[in-house]
Amino acid sequence: MRKEIPAYDERFFTNRYISMILQLIPVMFLVAFTISAIGLLIASTLKTAQGFQMVIQILLFPMLFLSGAMFPLNGLPLWMDIIVKINPLTYSVDMFKDIILKPETMSAAISQAMGLDLENFNHIITFAEEAIVVGVIGAVFVVFATIRFSKAEA
C-alpha cells in the first residue's frame, strides 16, 4: 500500500514556527537595509555602473565568509578577529542564529562549540545590541552615501 503525502504538514504551522518567522522578518529587513546602504555608498563613489557589480561582489563575499555563517568564530587570529568584529554581517548572522537555534535552550558547552555567543571585550553581545549595531551601521552608510550623492550633483 502506498501512503499519500499531504500537500502540507500541519505540524509545521505551529506557534513556534510562526513566532520564529515573525521574528525573522524585521531582522531580514534590517539586514537588507544595511547591505543596501553599503551598496548605495559604493554606488556613490563609482563613475559608471559597469564596475558596481564587480566591486560589490569583491566586498560582500569576504564579508559573508568572515561573518560566522560558514564557520564558528572561536579561536581566530587577532587580525581576523578585529575584521570580524567590524563586519555588520557578523552581527546579522548572529541575530539569525539566535532566532532559529535558540542558544539559550542549549547547554553552554554546545552553544560555545557552535560559536553562538558573540563576544566583544569579554562581553557577550545581546540580540538588542546586535540590532542596534546593524541599524547604526546602516544609518551611517546612508548618511555618507547621501552626502556623496549631494556633492556629485553640485
Residue 127's alpha-carbon distances to 57, 93, 94, 144, in angstroms, are: 28, 11, 8, 26
Our CA angle for 42, 45, 51, nearest 5°, is: 70
Question: Distance between CA 55 and CA 117 in Å, rounded?
Answer: 32
The pTM score is 0.81
The predicted structure's pLDDT at residue 5 = 55
**What tens digit of pLDDT does each residue of 14-50 get?**
677 888 889 999 999 999 999 999 999 998 888 777 7
The share of the chain scoring above pLDDT 90, in percent, equals 35
Residue 3 region, left (φ>0) first, then alpha (ψ -120 to 50), else beta?
beta
Identify the bridge partners of residue 124 per DSSP, sorted by sequence position: 119
Q: What is the dihedral of CA 39, 41, 45, 46, to 10 degrees?
A: 20
Q: Is 6 exposed, middle or buried (0-12, 13-18, 19+ CB in 10 A)?
A: exposed
* DSSP string for 101-141: H-GGGS-HHHHHHTT---EETTEEPPHHHHHHHHHHHHHHH
Residue 117, amino acid: D
Our CA angle for 140, 150, 134, nearest 5°, is: 15
Of the pLDDT bands very low, low, confident and very high (cuts 50, 70, 90), residue 1 is low
Using DSSP's 3-state secondary structure scheme, residue 150 falls into helix
